[in-house]
Amino acid sequence: MTIQRPIYQLSMNLEIDVPMEENQSQDDAKIKSEMSRKALELLYGKAGAPRWIEDYLELAKGGWPWRVAAYIAWASTPKGSREPKTQDELARFHLGLTSDRAVVTWKKKNPLIDQMVHKLQGSPLWKHRTEIITAMVAVAVKPDAKGFQDRKLALTLMGDLDDDKE
């Protein structure tokens, strides 16, 4: 079993419609979108900024459409500490939409969005990978029974032990 570093940029062939309100021109929709994007990005570094703003900026820099990047960053934060609390509030207050209907449509048409949410949810582990491995090795090299599981995991990760063959 090999552990691969997470890739935060998935290849994208996304079907993302630019939401337009009734009697709104495409130019007006683009202007509203751009104003909403700038308003969100101006929150960066300020008190009260959403805790997911850095993830949003990283995703947007990686090529995700800005609204999708904001949704992914928001959805990957723990539910109990999401700000805003609901997907509908995210759509209205940060994405410049009148409801979350567009977000629901994006997710239905593009399974990569949920895949990216799952990848991002696991990203804190990667930040501590070195410390986790160091702790595992420190226990595994001690010649007592307490280190058995750490030795087994280390040997499995290195390919020296295959649990499936037992």
Statement to judge: residues 111 and 64 lie in one domain: yes
Residue 50 domain flag: yes
**Shared-domain flag, residues 119 and 160:** no
Reported as a single tens digit per residue, the pLDDT across 35-47 is 999 999 999 999 9
Q: Residue 25 pLDDT > 50, yes or no? A: yes
Structure tokens at 3: 């552990």
User: Percentage of residues in the chain with pLDDT exceeding 90?
Assistant: 65
Q: Nearest CA to 112 among 51, 57, 63? A: 63
Residue 90: Cβ within 10 Å count? 24
Q: What is the CA radius of gyration of the chain?
A: 21
pLDDT at 95: 96
Shared domain check, 88 and 50 = yes
Do both 60 and 137 map to the same domain? Answer: no
**113 and 33 fall within a common domain:** yes
For residue 84, give every residue at least 6 positions away whose Cβ sits within 8 Å of its Cβ, in sequence order, or none.
Answer: 50, 90, 93, 94
Tens-digit pLDDT profile for residues 67-91: 999 999 999 999 999 999 999 999 9
Amino acid 51: pLDDT: 94
Q: State whether 141 and 93 are in the same domain.
A: no
- CB neighbour list of residue 137: distance below 8 Å, 6 or more residues apart: 150, 154
Q: Are residues 153 and 117 in the same domain?
A: no
CA atoms within 13 Å, Cβ hemisphere of 54: 5
116 in the same domain as 138: no
Nearest CA among 6, 88, 92, 94 for reference residue 50:
94
Give the angle subtended at the CA of 42 by the CAs of 48 and 105, to the nearest 5°.
90
In this prediction, residues 46-66 reach a mean pLDDT of 94
Q: Based on the domain organization, do 100 and 138 belong to the same domain?
A: no
Specify whether 118 is located in the same domain as 133: no
Q: Residue 141 sits in which domain range?
A: 128-165
- Give the pLDDT band (50/70/90) at residue 26: confident
